[in-house]
Structure 1
Amino acid sequence: MQVRYFFNQTDQTFNISFDPDFLPGEEWQEVDQEKHDQYLEAVNSRKIILADGTFSDPRPSNYHAWENGNWIDQRTEEQIKASEMKLLTPLTRRQFRMVFVLNGYDLDAIKAKILEIEDIQTRQITLVEWEDATTFERDNASLIMMAELLGLEDDQVNTMWKQALSL
Protein backbone atom coordinates (compact mmCIF):
# COMPACT_ATOMS: atom_id res chain seq x y z
CA MET A 1 0.00 0.00 0.00
CA GLN A 2 1.41 3.35 -1.04
CA VAL A 3 1.43 6.13 1.52
CA ARG A 4 1.50 9.72 0.28
CA TYR A 5 2.45 12.69 2.45
CA PHE A 6 1.23 16.24 1.93
CA PHE A 7 2.04 19.53 3.58
CA ASN A 8 0.10 22.81 3.52
CA GLN A 9 2.59 25.64 3.96
CA THR A 10 -0.09 28.31 4.52
CA ASP A 11 -1.82 26.47 7.36
CA GLN A 12 1.26 24.52 8.54
CA THR A 13 -0.80 21.32 8.42
CA PHE A 14 -0.26 17.76 7.22
CA ASN A 15 -2.24 15.15 5.37
CA ILE A 16 -1.39 11.50 4.92
CA SER A 17 -3.24 9.55 2.27
CA PHE A 18 -3.41 5.82 1.62
CA ASP A 19 -5.46 6.44 -1.51
CA PRO A 20 -3.18 6.58 -4.59
CA ASP A 21 -5.80 8.66 -6.44
CA PHE A 22 -6.19 11.28 -3.68
CA LEU A 23 -5.54 14.81 -4.91
CA PRO A 24 -5.68 17.54 -2.29
CA GLY A 25 -6.20 21.18 -3.22
CA GLU A 26 -3.58 23.38 -4.87
CA GLU A 27 -2.32 24.67 -1.51
CA TRP A 28 -0.95 21.21 -0.68
CA GLN A 29 2.47 20.01 -1.75
CA GLU A 30 3.46 16.38 -1.82
CA VAL A 31 6.55 15.55 0.23
CA ASP A 32 8.42 12.36 0.89
CA GLN A 33 8.31 10.65 4.29
CA GLU A 34 11.69 12.03 5.33
CA LYS A 35 10.63 15.62 4.57
CA HIS A 36 7.26 14.96 6.27
CA ASP A 37 9.06 13.76 9.41
CA GLN A 38 11.39 16.80 9.38
CA TYR A 39 8.46 19.18 8.95
CA LEU A 40 6.45 17.46 11.65
CA GLU A 41 9.36 17.69 14.09
CA ALA A 42 9.81 21.38 13.25
CA VAL A 43 6.12 22.19 13.78
CA ASN A 44 6.11 20.26 17.05
CA SER A 45 9.13 22.35 18.10
CA ARG A 46 7.06 25.52 17.59
CA LYS A 47 8.82 26.47 14.34
CA ILE A 48 7.31 27.79 11.13
CA ILE A 49 8.16 26.00 7.89
CA LEU A 50 9.08 28.70 5.40
CA ALA A 51 8.26 28.65 1.68
CA ASP A 52 11.82 27.57 0.82
CA GLY A 53 11.59 24.57 3.18
CA THR A 54 13.77 26.05 5.92
CA PHE A 55 12.52 26.63 9.46
CA SER A 56 12.06 29.69 11.62
CA ASP A 57 13.44 29.89 15.13
CA PRO A 58 11.04 28.38 17.69
CA ARG A 59 8.08 30.53 18.66
CA PRO A 60 9.27 32.39 21.79
CA SER A 61 5.88 32.36 23.55
CA ASN A 62 2.18 31.94 22.94
CA TYR A 63 1.98 35.73 22.66
CA HIS A 64 4.12 35.77 19.52
CA ALA A 65 2.79 35.67 15.96
CA TRP A 66 4.77 35.21 12.75
CA GLU A 67 4.73 38.47 10.77
CA ASN A 68 6.93 39.48 7.86
CA GLY A 69 9.58 36.89 8.64
CA ASN A 70 9.82 37.59 12.37
CA TRP A 71 8.18 36.54 15.61
CA ILE A 72 6.31 39.56 16.97
CA ASP A 73 4.99 39.79 20.52
CA GLN A 74 1.36 40.85 20.11
CA ARG A 75 1.02 42.32 23.60
CA THR A 76 1.18 46.00 24.47
CA GLU A 77 4.08 47.28 26.56
CA GLU A 78 1.72 47.43 29.56
CA GLN A 79 0.70 43.80 29.06
CA ILE A 80 4.33 42.70 28.76
CA LYS A 81 5.24 44.56 31.94
CA ALA A 82 2.25 43.13 33.84
CA SER A 83 3.18 39.63 32.69
CA GLU A 84 6.78 40.11 33.80
CA MET A 85 5.70 41.48 37.18
CA LYS A 86 3.64 38.32 37.82
CA LEU A 87 6.85 36.32 37.57
CA LEU A 88 8.57 38.45 40.21
CA THR A 89 7.23 36.63 43.24
CA PRO A 90 7.99 37.80 46.79
CA LEU A 91 11.52 37.45 48.12
CA THR A 92 12.62 36.34 51.56
CA ARG A 93 14.63 38.77 53.65
CA ARG A 94 17.75 36.69 52.97
CA GLN A 95 17.23 36.74 49.19
CA PHE A 96 16.48 40.46 49.16
CA ARG A 97 19.53 41.51 51.13
CA MET A 98 21.86 38.92 49.57
CA VAL A 99 21.19 40.15 46.02
CA PHE A 100 22.33 43.64 47.02
CA VAL A 101 25.56 42.26 48.46
CA LEU A 102 26.16 40.12 45.36
CA ASN A 103 25.72 43.19 43.18
CA GLY A 104 28.30 45.26 45.05
CA TYR A 105 26.07 47.22 47.41
CA ASP A 106 27.01 47.87 51.02
CA LEU A 107 24.04 47.19 53.29
CA ASP A 108 25.18 49.88 55.74
CA ALA A 109 25.35 52.39 52.87
CA ILE A 110 21.78 51.50 51.88
CA LYS A 111 20.62 52.11 55.45
CA ALA A 112 22.49 55.43 55.46
CA LYS A 113 20.63 56.44 52.27
CA ILE A 114 17.33 55.58 53.94
CA LEU A 115 18.28 57.69 56.97
CA GLU A 116 18.76 60.67 54.60
CA ILE A 117 15.04 60.71 53.69
CA GLU A 118 13.74 64.07 54.86
CA ASP A 119 10.14 63.18 55.66
CA ILE A 120 10.19 61.48 59.07
CA GLN A 121 7.25 59.18 58.50
CA THR A 122 8.47 58.09 55.06
CA ARG A 123 11.96 57.53 56.47
CA GLN A 124 10.64 55.43 59.38
CA ILE A 125 8.32 53.35 57.17
CA THR A 126 11.14 52.69 54.71
CA LEU A 127 13.53 51.83 57.55
CA VAL A 128 11.00 49.38 59.05
CA GLU A 129 10.63 47.76 55.61
CA TRP A 130 14.42 47.53 55.22
CA GLU A 131 15.18 46.22 58.70
CA ASP A 132 12.08 44.27 59.75
CA ALA A 133 10.24 42.91 56.71
CA THR A 134 10.40 39.13 56.33
CA THR A 135 9.17 39.16 52.73
CA PHE A 136 9.56 41.73 49.99
CA GLU A 137 7.02 42.38 47.23
CA ARG A 138 8.29 43.79 43.93
CA ASP A 139 5.59 46.49 43.73
CA ASN A 140 5.90 47.69 47.35
CA ALA A 141 6.06 51.51 47.56
CA SER A 142 8.98 51.49 50.04
CA LEU A 143 10.93 49.14 47.81
CA ILE A 144 10.33 51.39 44.81
CA MET A 145 11.57 54.35 46.87
CA MET A 146 14.70 52.41 47.92
CA ALA A 147 15.42 51.62 44.27
CA GLU A 148 15.10 55.31 43.40
CA LEU A 149 17.44 56.26 46.28
CA LEU A 150 20.02 53.86 44.85
CA GLY A 151 19.53 55.12 41.30
CA LEU A 152 18.18 51.77 40.05
CA GLU A 153 15.96 51.66 36.97
CA ASP A 154 12.98 49.26 36.83
CA ASP A 155 14.77 46.86 34.47
CA GLN A 156 17.79 46.75 36.81
CA VAL A 157 15.54 45.97 39.79
CA ASN A 158 13.77 43.27 37.77
CA THR A 159 17.10 41.69 36.81
CA MET A 160 18.28 41.70 40.42
CA TRP A 161 14.90 40.33 41.51
CA LYS A 162 15.21 37.40 39.11
CA GLN A 163 18.74 36.79 40.40
CA ALA A 164 17.46 36.84 43.99
CA LEU A 165 14.75 34.29 43.18
CA SER A 166 17.51 31.83 42.33
CA LEU A 167 19.29 32.25 45.68
Structure 2
Amino acid sequence: MNMHKFYIKTNADGLLTGVFDTIYYEPSAEQIEGFTEVDQPTFEELYQNQQTRRYVNGKVEIFMPTPLTPEEQRAQMPPISKRQLRLTLVRNGISLSDLDAAILAMGDEATIEWQDASEYRRLHPLLNQVAAHLSLKQEQVDAMWQQALTA
Protein backbone atom coordinates (compact mmCIF):
# COMPACT_ATOMS: atom_id res chain seq x y z
CA MET A 1 0.00 0.00 0.00
CA ASN A 2 1.43 3.37 -1.05
CA MET A 3 1.35 6.00 1.70
CA HIS A 4 0.88 9.50 0.41
CA LYS A 5 3.20 12.17 1.74
CA PHE A 6 2.37 15.83 2.04
CA TYR A 7 4.82 18.71 1.94
CA ILE A 8 4.44 22.43 2.58
CA LYS A 9 6.67 25.44 2.12
CA THR A 10 6.16 28.59 4.18
CA ASN A 11 7.61 32.07 4.33
CA ALA A 12 9.24 33.63 7.42
CA ASP A 13 5.77 34.40 8.83
CA GLY A 14 4.64 30.78 8.50
CA LEU A 15 2.27 31.54 5.62
CA LEU A 16 1.90 28.88 2.95
CA THR A 17 3.93 29.56 -0.22
CA GLY A 18 4.02 26.10 -1.76
CA VAL A 19 2.53 22.62 -1.52
CA PHE A 20 3.45 19.22 -2.85
CA ASP A 21 1.92 15.80 -2.37
CA THR A 22 2.81 12.33 -3.58
CA ILE A 23 -0.65 11.31 -4.76
CA TYR A 24 0.47 11.12 -8.42
CA TYR A 25 4.22 10.52 -8.14
CA GLU A 26 7.16 10.57 -5.77
CA PRO A 27 9.09 13.86 -5.99
CA SER A 28 12.84 14.04 -6.29
CA ALA A 29 14.90 15.48 -3.45
CA GLU A 30 15.45 18.64 -5.52
CA GLN A 31 11.70 19.15 -5.99
CA ILE A 32 10.96 19.10 -2.28
CA GLU A 33 14.05 20.97 -1.13
CA GLY A 34 12.96 23.61 1.38
CA PHE A 35 9.62 21.87 1.98
CA THR A 36 8.49 20.36 5.29
CA GLU A 37 6.69 17.03 5.45
CA VAL A 38 3.37 17.24 7.33
CA ASP A 39 0.46 14.92 7.98
CA GLN A 40 -2.64 15.03 5.78
CA PRO A 41 -4.91 16.92 8.24
CA THR A 42 -2.26 19.64 8.67
CA PHE A 43 -1.76 19.85 4.91
CA GLU A 44 -5.49 20.14 4.25
CA GLU A 45 -6.12 22.74 6.97
CA LEU A 46 -3.30 24.96 5.71
CA TYR A 47 -4.23 24.52 2.05
CA GLN A 48 -7.95 25.16 2.55
CA ASN A 49 -7.43 28.16 4.88
CA GLN A 50 -4.43 29.89 3.39
CA GLN A 51 -5.58 33.39 4.33
CA THR A 52 -6.21 32.59 8.00
CA ARG A 53 -3.72 29.86 8.96
CA ARG A 54 0.02 29.68 9.35
CA TYR A 55 2.49 26.98 10.30
CA VAL A 56 4.82 27.89 13.18
CA ASN A 57 7.04 25.57 15.23
CA GLY A 58 5.36 22.49 13.80
CA LYS A 59 1.81 23.66 14.58
CA VAL A 60 -1.05 25.25 12.66
CA GLU A 61 -2.06 28.63 14.11
CA ILE A 62 -5.03 30.83 13.34
CA PHE A 63 -3.76 34.00 11.72
CA MET A 64 -5.75 37.16 11.11
CA PRO A 65 -3.77 39.50 8.87
CA THR A 66 -3.73 43.19 9.71
CA PRO A 67 -5.97 45.05 7.26
CA LEU A 68 -4.09 47.25 4.81
CA THR A 69 -4.34 50.99 5.18
CA PRO A 70 -5.88 52.87 2.24
CA GLU A 71 -2.37 54.03 1.26
CA GLU A 72 -1.06 50.44 1.29
CA GLN A 73 -4.04 49.35 -0.81
CA ARG A 74 -3.30 52.13 -3.31
CA ALA A 75 0.34 51.06 -3.50
CA GLN A 76 -0.81 47.58 -4.53
CA MET A 77 -3.15 48.76 -7.28
CA PRO A 78 -1.90 47.70 -10.69
CA PRO A 79 -0.98 50.36 -13.25
CA ILE A 80 -3.50 51.33 -15.91
CA SER A 81 -3.02 52.38 -19.52
CA LYS A 82 -3.65 55.84 -20.94
CA ARG A 83 -6.70 54.45 -22.75
CA GLN A 84 -8.15 52.96 -19.55
CA LEU A 85 -7.60 56.21 -17.67
CA ARG A 86 -9.13 58.46 -20.32
CA LEU A 87 -12.17 56.21 -20.87
CA THR A 88 -12.84 56.04 -17.16
CA LEU A 89 -12.56 59.79 -16.68
CA VAL A 90 -14.99 60.43 -19.55
CA ARG A 91 -17.39 57.78 -18.24
CA ASN A 92 -17.35 59.59 -14.89
CA GLY A 93 -18.26 62.95 -16.38
CA ILE A 94 -14.80 64.50 -16.55
CA SER A 95 -14.18 66.06 -19.93
CA LEU A 96 -10.84 65.61 -21.61
CA SER A 97 -10.66 69.38 -22.17
CA ASP A 98 -10.96 69.96 -18.39
CA LEU A 99 -8.29 67.34 -17.83
CA ASP A 100 -5.95 68.93 -20.39
CA ALA A 101 -6.53 72.38 -18.89
CA ALA A 102 -5.66 71.10 -15.43
CA ILE A 103 -2.43 69.54 -16.69
CA LEU A 104 -1.44 72.59 -18.77
CA ALA A 105 -1.88 74.77 -15.68
CA MET A 106 0.77 72.66 -13.92
CA GLY A 107 3.51 73.46 -16.42
CA ASP A 108 5.63 71.87 -19.12
CA GLU A 109 7.09 69.04 -17.03
CA ALA A 110 3.65 67.96 -15.88
CA THR A 111 2.40 68.08 -19.49
CA ILE A 112 5.30 65.92 -20.71
CA GLU A 113 4.92 63.51 -17.80
CA TRP A 114 1.19 63.16 -18.42
CA GLN A 115 1.13 63.03 -22.21
CA ASP A 116 4.14 60.75 -22.69
CA ALA A 117 3.31 58.17 -20.03
CA SER A 118 2.42 54.74 -21.37
CA GLU A 119 0.92 53.71 -18.04
CA TYR A 120 -0.24 55.42 -14.88
CA ARG A 121 0.41 54.37 -11.29
CA ARG A 122 -2.11 55.08 -8.57
CA LEU A 123 0.33 56.85 -6.22
CA HIS A 124 2.20 58.90 -8.78
CA PRO A 125 2.39 62.47 -7.41
CA LEU A 126 1.16 64.02 -10.66
CA LEU A 127 -1.94 61.85 -10.67
CA ASN A 128 -2.80 63.05 -7.19
CA GLN A 129 -2.19 66.69 -8.19
CA VAL A 130 -4.52 66.30 -11.16
CA ALA A 131 -7.14 64.67 -8.92
CA ALA A 132 -6.92 67.56 -6.46
CA HIS A 133 -7.17 70.10 -9.31
CA LEU A 134 -10.33 68.31 -10.49
CA SER A 135 -11.69 68.30 -6.90
CA LEU A 136 -11.65 64.50 -6.70
CA LYS A 137 -11.29 62.85 -3.30
CA GLN A 138 -8.88 59.95 -2.93
CA GLU A 139 -11.78 57.53 -2.45
CA GLN A 140 -13.29 58.69 -5.75
CA VAL A 141 -9.98 58.13 -7.50
CA ASP A 142 -9.76 54.66 -5.92
CA ALA A 143 -13.21 53.76 -7.22
CA MET A 144 -12.42 55.07 -10.70
CA TRP A 145 -9.13 53.16 -10.66
CA GLN A 146 -11.04 49.94 -10.06
CA GLN A 147 -13.39 50.84 -12.93
CA ALA A 148 -10.42 51.54 -15.19
CA LEU A 149 -8.96 48.08 -14.62
CA THR A 150 -11.87 46.62 -16.60
CA ALA A 151 -12.18 49.41 -19.18
Q: TM-score, normalised by structure 2?
A: 0.53
- How far apart, in 1, do the equivalents of 2:79 and 2:65 lie? 28
Question: Do the aligned partners of 2:104 and 2:110 also contact (CA within 8 Å) in 1?
Answer: no
Matched-pair identity in %: 29
- Asked if 1:75 is matched to 2:66, the reply is yes
Q: How many residues align?
A: 93
- Asked if 1:115 is matched to 2:99, the reply is no
Question: Do the aligned partners of 1:125 and 1:142 also contact (CA within 8 Å) in 2?
Answer: no
- How far apart, in 2, do the equivalents of 1:108 and 1:82 lie? 29
- How far apart, in 1, do the equivalents of 2:132 and 2:97 lie? 17
Correspondence list, 1:118-133, <5 A? 123-133=107-117
Question: Do the aligned partners of 2:75 and 2:122 also contact (CA within 8 Å) in 1?
Answer: no
Structure 1's unaligned 5+ residue stretches are: 1-44, 47-60, 63-72, 118-122
Number of the residue aligned with 1:152: 136
Higher RCO (CA < 8 A, seq sep 6+): 2
Return the offset for 1:74. 6.6
CA deviation profile, 1:98-131 (whole Å, cap 9, x unmatched):
11111111111111122223xxxxx212211222
Number of the residue aligned with 2:95: 106
Structure 2 CA distance for partners of 1:108 and 1:157, relative to 1, 3 Å? same
Match of 2:120 among 114, 118, 136: 136
Report the secondary structure of 1:139's partner residue. Answer: coil
Q: TM-score, normalised by structure 1?
A: 0.49
Structure 2's unaligned 5+ residue stretches are: 1-47, 53-63
The higher radius of gyration belongs to 1
Structure 2 CA distance for partners of 1:106 and 1:83, relative to 1, 3 Å? same
- How far apart, in 2, do the equivalents of 1:85 and 1:116 lie? 26
CA deviation profile, 1:66-87 (whole Å, cap 9, x unmatched):
xxxxxxx8736xx332442244
